[in-house]
Amino acid sequence: MTNFQTCFHMKARIAAAFLGALTLVGLPATALAQAFPTQPVKLVVPFPPGGTTDILARHLAKELQDQWGQPVVVENRAGASGTIFSDQLARMPADGYTLMLTATHHVINPALYKNLKYNARTDFTPLAQVASVPNVLVVHPSFPAKNVAELIAYAKANPGKVNFGSSGTGGANHLSGELFKAMAGIEMLHVPYKGAAPALNDLLGGQIPVMFDSVPGVLQHIQGGRLRALGVTTLKRSSALPDVPTIDEAGLKGFEATAWFGLYAPGHMAPPLRDKLSKDVLGALQSPAIRAQFSSLGAEPGTMPQEAFATFVDTELTKWAKVIADAKVKID
């Protein structure tokens, strides 16, 4: 090899190394996002199998797996209302290969549990609202109130004598009742149960007169006349109960307490990867298969862009912190 050839090849290697360095320094986030995923993805549900969150996660995982051409494996890591795995996720690398699908608990827990080791505002990257499920205010047919205004009037005339049940202290249904009390300026006595099923059984039996529950959980009882629906908790009517007004429509302006489910990654995810994940998930949620599957659960697929969802999460953290503080709800 001549000196000229040797010099040429050396310069070529230097140029290639320089270009490679530029790629590593300037383009890694974009390049990684475009290539994602190159290996299986874990979608963790921080609750036991079989619940609504778990079912939604499995439908979404299948759709994303088809889209990405990589396995999307759902894992259940239950404990302490979702806080145990949330703490673990907060300390993981934000590479997109471990994601968490969780419920409204995620924005409620920080105000309930005083010793959490993570910051819900900064230690997670909100990616997408996966679904929302309207709750509905229902009463036993023997209860005298026929609408929201009559319930408020009755509670004002009988302070502290109206009981409302829930699936447990600090849950979304309990806090829906606390928000209702605060906004209506009334006193009702909370009766916590160990799960939604025993609470619903006592409501159907007339042992408690009032309850907030998910539309899917009580729809058949409303249709069968065993419960009376006074109002849904979303700002628009439920397609499953088109004749039932929203609580906002019924006179309690601004009332909204939706059960919703969100997808999160560890905090400080690179924007290109964050945006790709959000876009891919929103695309999956609009597929005919997902829409049909979610509809059967009484759930609406999410549509918020990533930035809007992040703002929504921040607002929900503030809202529920105030409700919990005002109601003096405590978890020991």
Please compute the mean of the pLDDT values over residues 23-46 and round it to a whole number. Answer: 81
Rg (CA), the chain: 24
Return the exposure string of 135-144: e unless at least 16 CB atoms fall within 10 Å of the residue's CB, then b. bbbbbbeebe
How far is Cα 261 from Cα 284, in angstroms, rounded to an integer? Answer: 15
Asked whether residue 1 carries a pLDDT value surpassing 80, the answer given is no
Residue 141, preceding peptide bond in cis (omega within 30° of 0): no
pLDDT above 80 for 5: no
248 close to 71: Cβ distance less than 8 angstroms? no
- Tens of pLDDT, residue by residue over 73-88, are 999 998 888 999 999 9
Exposed/middle/buried for residue 92 (C-beta within 10 Å: 0-12, 13-18, 19+): middle
pTM of the model: 0.79
pLDDT at 23 over 70: no
Assess whether pLDDT exceeds 60 at residue 248. Answer: yes
11 pLDDT band, cuts 50/70/90, is very low
Q: Where are the beta strands (DSSP E) in the chain?
A: 41-45, 72-76, 98-102, 124-133, 135-139, 163-166, 189-192, 210-214, 228-232, 259-266, 300-301
Residues in the chain: 332
pLDDT 10s digits, 177-216:
999 999 999 999 999 988 778 899 999 999 999 999 988 8
pLDDT of residue 332: 59
Which comes out higher in pLDDT, residue 16 or 205?
A: 205
CATH architecture, domain 135-232: 3-Layer(aba) Sandwich (3.40)
Level-2 CATH architecture, domain 38-132+258-327? 3-Layer(aba) Sandwich (3.40)
Asked whether the predicted pLDDT for residue 229 surpasses 60, the reply is yes
Q: What are the residue boundaries of the structural domains of the chain, listed by start?
A: 38-132+258-327, 135-232
249 is written with which tokens? 């429509």
pLDDT at position 17: 40
| pLDDT of amino acid 240 | 84
Band of residue 19 on the pLDDT scale cut at 50, 70, 90: very low
Chain segment 259-268, per-residue pLDDT in tens:
899 999 999 9
Question: Mean pLDDT across the chain, nearest whole number?
Answer: 89
Residues 6+ apart with CB under 8 A from 29: 270, 271, 272, 273
What count of other Cβ atoms lies within 10 Å of the Cβ of residue 328? 7
Q: How far apart are CA 141 and CA 153, in angstroms?
A: 17
pLDDT for res 27: 54
Residue 2 clears pLDDT 70, i.e. is over it: no
Domains 38-132+258-327 and 135-232 share a fold: yes
CB atoms within 10 A of CB 21: 10
Question: Which tens digit of pLDDT belongs to each residue from 298-312?
Answer: 789 999 999 999 999
The pLDDT tens digits for 147-159 are: 999 999 999 999 9
Strands laid side by side in the 41-45 sheet: 72-76, 41-45, 98-102, 259-266, 124-133, 300-301
Asked if 325 contacts 154 with a C-beta cutoff of 8 angstroms, the reply is: no
Q: Which residues pair with 128 in a beta bridge?
A: 263
Tell me the C-alpha distance between 48 and 137, whole Å. 26
Between 21-30, 162-171, 270-279, the lowest mean confidence (pLDDT) is in 21-30
